[in-house]
């Protein structure tokens, strides 16, 4: 089994931006003030630029491609090599760690023993009309938190929203409406949120039905939770007799 490649690419992308930024700052005058808000960040334009200059491109694009698989072009390959070099310099030279180059294929029993097979999975629900896939626990959390926030607003108790980090800002949240809830309902929502990590897939499905939790973007109902394993299955050996 292997972990997906999307994380690798995403991490490399953020490292790329960081490396480019450090390169610019090192060439700028020491006393030059840097205005980080002069130009708003536009991810769409950045992706278009990197694609146009062949830093990367979707793998097998002429055959339709597969989401999450990318190829690095010449500048992207060079940039990746520089990132690996900096990573190696920090951990091997500065931190005196020892480097290993291991196989990317791993027999299934290893992941079974480590708990990846049993735990490396999320419960997902699908919009019954559009087919959009949502993580069940995140859906329940976002919808119930939005309802509790609307309840506080309706009671005149809405607090000033706390500053959010960039990672949280990128997550989709349910829209908040000022609707007062019964005290018992609000208390039940708070108990559910406090114990959310303990719910199984069928439990999350029951919560969606009981509390009429829908896709916030479409207001459509969602189906039964299905377990989605984040590992890739593979076969080892000429006849595939060993699961990987």
Domain-wise residue ranges, the chain: 2-94, 116-159+171-231
Inter-residue long-range contacts of 146-152, CB under 8 Å, 24+ positions, other chains counted: 146/173, 146/174, 146/175, 146/176, 146/177, 146/216, 147/179, 147/181, 147/189, 148/181, 148/186, 148/189, 148/190, 148/193, 149/176, 150/176, 150/177, 150/178, 150/179, 150/181, 151/179, 151/180, 151/181, 151/186
pLDDT band at 180 (very low <50, low <70, confident <90, very high): confident
How many Å apart are CA 143 and CA 224, to the nearest integer?
A: 17
**Which tens digits make up the pLDDT trace of 145-177?**
999 988 888 888 765 555 555 555 555 566 677
pLDDT band at 179 (very low <50, low <70, confident <90, very high): confident
Quickly name the fold that domain 116-159+171-231 has. Answer: Herpes Virus-1 (3.30.40)
Whole-prediction pTM = 0.55
């Amino acid at each position: 089994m292997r972990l997906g490649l999307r994380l690798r690419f995403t991490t490399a992308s953020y490292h790329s931006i960081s490396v480019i930024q450090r390169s610019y700052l090192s060439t700028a005058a020491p006393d030059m003030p840097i205005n980080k808000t002069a130009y708003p960040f536009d991810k769409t334009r950045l992706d278009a630029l990197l694609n146009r200059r062949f830093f990367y491109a979707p793998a097998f694009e002429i055959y339709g491609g597969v989401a999450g698989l990318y190829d690095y072009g010449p500048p992207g390959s060079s940039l990746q090599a520089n990132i690996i070099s900096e990573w190696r310099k920090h951990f091997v030279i500065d931190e005196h760690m020892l480097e290993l180059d291991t196989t990317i294929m791993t027999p299934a029993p290893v992941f079974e023993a480590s708990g990846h097979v049993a735990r490396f999975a999320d419960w997902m629900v699908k919009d019954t009309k559009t087919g959009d896939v949502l993580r069940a626990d995140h859906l329940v959390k976002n919808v119930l938190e939005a309802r509790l926030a609307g309840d506080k607003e309706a009671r005149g108790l809405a607090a000033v929203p706390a500053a959010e980090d960039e990672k949280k800002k990128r997550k989709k949240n349910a829209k908040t409406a000022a609707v007062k809830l019964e005290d018992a309902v609000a208390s039940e929502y708070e108990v559910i949120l406090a114990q959310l990590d303990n719910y199984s897939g069928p439990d999350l499905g029951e919560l969606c039905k009981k509390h009429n939790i829908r896709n916030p973007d479409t207001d459509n109902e969602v189906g039964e939770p299905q377990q989605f394993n984040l590992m890739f299955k593979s076969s080892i050996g000429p006849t595939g007799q060993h699961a990987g």
